[in-house]
Amino acid sequence: MSTFSDRKNHEMQGKVSKMDPDSDTATPGKGYVTENLGIWSVMFLDDGYRGQFHKVFGDIPKSIPAFSHLIRQVFSLYPTLFLMFCATQLWMSCQGAINLHFSSRLLEAIELTLKNNGADPWAVTLPIIGRLLVAVLTGYISWTNERLISRMRRRLICYFELELLKVKLNHSLAESDAPESQINVSANQAWKSFQEIIEFFGGIFDALSQLSLIIHLSRQSGPLFALSCLSKTIYWAFTRRCIWDTPFVALETDKHQTRMTALVALAKDKKDVISYDLKDYIVREYTKASKLIGDASDEHPWILYRQFKTPWNNMALEALLPLPLFYCAFLALRNPSAATLSSIAILQESATSITRTVDFLLGGMEDFRTNLKHLREFNNAVERLAHREALRDHQALLGGRGDSSIEKRRGMEFELRNVAFNYPGAQTNTKALNDVSLTIKSGQFVVLVGANGSGKSTLVKLLAQMYNNDDPSTGFSLSENLEGEILIDSRPASSFSEASLRQAIAVFSQDNGLFAGFSLAENIGLGYNPLIGNHNATMEAARMSGADTAINRMKDGFNTILNPMLNLTSFNVDIENESNALTKFMKNLQRAADVSGGERQRIAAARTFMSFKSGKIRFLAVDEPNSALDAEAEATLLQNLVNEREGKTIVLVTHHFGKLVQNADLIVCMKEGRIVQLGRHEELMRSDGEYKKLYGIQASAFENP
Ligand SMILES: Nc1ncnc2c1ncn2[C@@H]1O[C@H](COP(=O)(O)OP(=O)(O)OP(=O)(O)O)[C@@H](O)[C@H]1O
């Protein structure tokens, strides 16, 4: 006996095989099946029947906790709004059945009036009034519904966004890097899922109310009539071929099509066509390929997928369409006194209406499943965060990691013992850091040098505690990535509270950019946010980093917003036409103030100077802040940073072996993730090692030939 999926596959256009499109790598049972459709090879997950019914129904129970949690949350936040929203949705779902009820009463009354040749005014008037009231109420509720949805949308998107923001802000750097901890659902998606799930349930309610009306109208024969109404839909649900019901990958594998595409692309390259005289060749080859490709269709795979191989399905679908009418005819023949024209007409209308609703539900099954998944994902992320916070509080109560803070007044002391580190998700065999042991004394000015990729930035990130070791409060384990010990002030780094570390450490690197949508003053002030708005402190920080000149040149000075977050939508505006008023308006809006790359870096550096104003910074890590700075600006900026060294330990990563390097208390020379040399400039220059080599290369690069 053939299974349902066998039948389905049998009817598919094209052949189905458990093979790769590329037969060289074809392996049966790889977890996906390949179907050739026109010029495409389409790969589907090999999980049997693709109709998704069982998956949807399997997903509902496991989504109930997430959905009910969300409903409770929304209800507690906006009780009135939520109840009104539910009530309007409910009305919109059942008004179809109520309308049909009044219509049926009215038609019956009309038929009776015609039959008896006399009118019962109330029998006709009451359903008219009822129908009118429903129409007016529906109009009003649909108007209210639009507004309610807008308000719910605004509020819920803010709620979702805030929750997701909290989750993301609580991620450590390691988690932000790790693909497995990424949250794939956005606030907009969460809202859309929430709304669509409610709509889907509304659809189910709608279908049920119509079904009960049909059963009520056709009395004993109701269930059979209902079945005849739904026959086409049910048949369609089980035989339809919709590519969107399942994950798929479509790959254009027809080599003739690929050749034709390449020839068209080549023809665009006019210079090559002329210089190699390719005109005739292109036409000849294109003609050849187009003959070889034959009738293989290049329509989208979703169009090709839904076509049946034989006409039987289309014929059956068309034949099932008038089934309710045939059924009514059969009823009339069997029991002429029970069937009235009005009941037949209303049953016919109900049939159309319920078919539409069930079609909507069946068509939306996969979306419904995706929506449930989004809400589950959102809920899981929020629950994980709550769990972490509870753990953190618990730890603070136990007096664990939470109670230690960095000793004030002196720079941090570091000791690294056999530290090895690999980035989460790194695809390399070699570690970013390997067997690194290093002691940095309090108040030292340390310089890290080494070739690209030698591990300098990684070492700085570990010193700056951007990748913490196992931390039960974060729930994310780095133990597989980090080996060895990192001591701060002779105690394990993990014994310090996260907050005290963050307050004591400042990091300045070339990655420090400007925050879009914030004024320059705020961009600087964010270095120490209690002083945001303090003009003197902001000015001073800007002066120290050399950003003041560029800022003072701006029309709006410190109030300038360099990257305003414009959300501009235009339609059919002729942007080529400069005299068009809308074009002018848009161009004006987009003509944002800008500064040079070096000036940007100075403004970002001002943020670091601002952070010193907290008086709590004990460790400053500076990682090549000079990519866009001219030599003089770089020297001044670094010198100003070093001038702030009182009470701080400073680690600088640089490729420039200038005066600062020569005056460093300690130079750490790195190669391939390891420390290869340690010492002061003079010592290192005396030995014939990596440092001297790097120094020599840089010196010779600037020598005159
Ligand atoms: N986020 C990351 N994920 C995976 N691997 C990384 C990541 N960042 C750096 N690496 C790898 O770690 C190694 C050390 O990189 P690191 O950035 O520390 O070197 P660097 O000495 O600072 O180099 P450069 O002088 O080019 O800045 C390199 O092999 C690099 O490819």
Highest mean pLDDT among 139-148, 650-659, 684-693: 139-148
- Per-residue pLDDT, averaged over 254-275, amounts to 92
Q: Side by side, which strands form the sheet with 666-671?
A: 505-509, 619-623, 649-653, 445-450, 666-671, 674-679
φ, ψ (nearest 5 deg) of residue 295: -100, 10
Q: State whether the beta carbon of 434 lies less than 6 angstroms from ligand 1.
A: no
Q: State whether the beta carbon of 456 lies less than 6 angstroms from ligand 1.
A: yes
Helix (H) or strand (E) holding 36: strand 32-37
| 342-351 burial: b if 16+ Cβ within 10 Å, else e | bbbebbeebb
- 471: which strand partners? 476
Which of 457, 669, 674 for mutating ligand 1's site (highest number of atoms within 8 Å of CB)? 457
**For residues 223 and 330, which has the higher predicted lDDT (pLDDT)?**
330
Q: State whether the beta carbon of 424 lies less than 6 angstroms from ligand 1.
A: no
What's the gap in Å between 471 CA and the centre of ligand 1?
24
The single-letter DSSP state of residue 680 is -
Amino acid of residue 183: I
Distance CA 518, CA 509 (A): 20
pLDDT of 565 above 70: yes
φ, ψ (nearest 5 deg) of residue 647: 75, 10
pLDDT of 157 above 90: yes
Q: State whether the beta carbon of 455 lies less than 6 angstroms from ligand 1.
A: yes
Q: What is the CA radius of gyration of the chain?
A: 36
Distance CA 198, CA 149 (A): 12
Q: State whether the beta carbon of 626 lies less than 6 angstroms from ligand 1.
A: no
Distinct helix (H) and strand (E) counts, the chain: 26, 14
Q: State whether the beta carbon of 172 lies less than 6 angstroms from ligand 1.
A: no
Q: Whole-model pTM above 0.80? A: no
Residue-wise pLDDT for 171-212, tens only, equals 766 666 666 666 778 899 999 999 999 999 999 998 888 888
Residue-wise pLDDT for 419-444, tens only, equals 999 887 677 778 899 999 999 999 99
- Locate the ligand 1 atom nearest the alpha carbon of residue 448 and give its number: 21
What's the gap in Å between 331 CA and the centre of ligand 1?
80
Question: Could you write out the three-class secondary structure of 608-665?
Answer: HHHHHCCCCCCEEEEECCCCCCCHHHHHHHHHHHHHCCCCCEEEEECCCCCHHHHCCC
- Locate the ligand 1 atom nearest the alpha carbon of residue 177 and give its number: 1
To the nearest 10 degrees (0 to 180), the angle between helices 187-217 and 222-239 is 140
- The pLDDT value given to residue 417: 94
What's the gap in Å between 431 CA and the centre of ligand 1?
10
Distance CA 359, CA 368 (A): 14
- The pLDDT value given to residue 88: 92
What's the gap in Å between 388 CA and the centre of ligand 1?
30
Please name which of 269, 263, 265, 268 lies closest in space to residue 292, comparing C-alpha atoms. Answer: 263
Q: State whether the beta carbon of 452 lies less than 6 angstroms from ligand 1.
A: yes
Q: State whether the beta carbon of 509 lies less than 6 angstroms from ligand 1.
A: no
- Locate the ligand 1 atom nearest the alpha carbon of residue 653 and give its number: 22
Query: What is the torsional sign of CA 5, 10, 14, 19?
Result: positive
Q: State whether the beta carbon of 625 lies less than 6 angstroms from ligand 1.
A: no
The answer to whether 636 and 609 are in contact (CB under 8 A) is: no
Q: State whether the beta carbon of 14 lies less than 6 angstroms from ligand 1.
A: no
Amino acid of residue 556: D
The protein residue whose alpha carbon is closest to atom 7 in ligand 1 is 423
Please name which of 255, 210, 454 lies closest in space to residue 349, comparing C-alpha atoms. Answer: 210
- The pLDDT value given to residue 172: 66
The CA-based angle 111-116-120, given to 5 degrees, is 75
The single-letter DSSP state of residue 66 is H
Q: State whether the beta carbon of 41 lies less than 6 angstroms from ligand 1.
A: no
φ, ψ (nearest 5 deg) of residue 672: 45, 45
Q: State whether the beta carbon of 173 lies less than 6 angstroms from ligand 1.
A: no
Residue-wise pLDDT for 275-284, tens only, equals 899 999 999 9
| 618-643 burial: b if 16+ Cβ within 10 Å, else e | bbbbbbbbbeebeeebbbbbbeebbe
Q: State whether the beta carbon of 458 lies less than 6 angstroms from ligand 1.
A: yes
Residue-wise pLDDT for 441-454, tens only, equals 999 999 999 988 89
Please name which of 236, 209, 199 lies closest in space to residue 350, comparing C-alpha atoms. Answer: 209
Q: State whether the beta carbon of 453 lies less than 6 angstroms from ligand 1.
A: yes
- The pLDDT value given to residue 338: 64
The single-letter DSSP state of residue 307 is S
DSSP codes, 205-265 = HHHHHHHHHHHHHTGGGHHHHHHHHHHHHHHHHHH---GGGS-EEEEE--HHHHHHHHHHH
ipTM of the complex: 0.96
The single-letter DSSP state of residue 12 is B
Q: Are strands 482-488 and 414-421 parallel, antiparallel or unpaired?
A: antiparallel
pLDDT of 605 above 80: yes
For the chain, the residue count is 705
Distance CA 487, CA 18 (A): 56
The answer to whether 103 and 348 are in contact (CB under 8 A) is: no
| 289-298 burial: b if 16+ Cβ within 10 Å, else e | beeebeeebe
pLDDT of 52 above 80: no
CA 171 to chain CA centroid, Å, is 16
- Locate the ligand 1 atom nearest the alpha carbon of residue 426 and give its number: 4
To the nearest 10 degrees (0 to 180), the angle between helices 4-11 and 222-239 is 60
φ, ψ (nearest 5 deg) of residue 285: -65, -35
Percentage of the chain with pLDDT > 90?
32
What region, left, alpha or beta, does residue 22 occupy, with left being phi > 0 and alpha being psi -120 to 50 degrees? Answer: beta
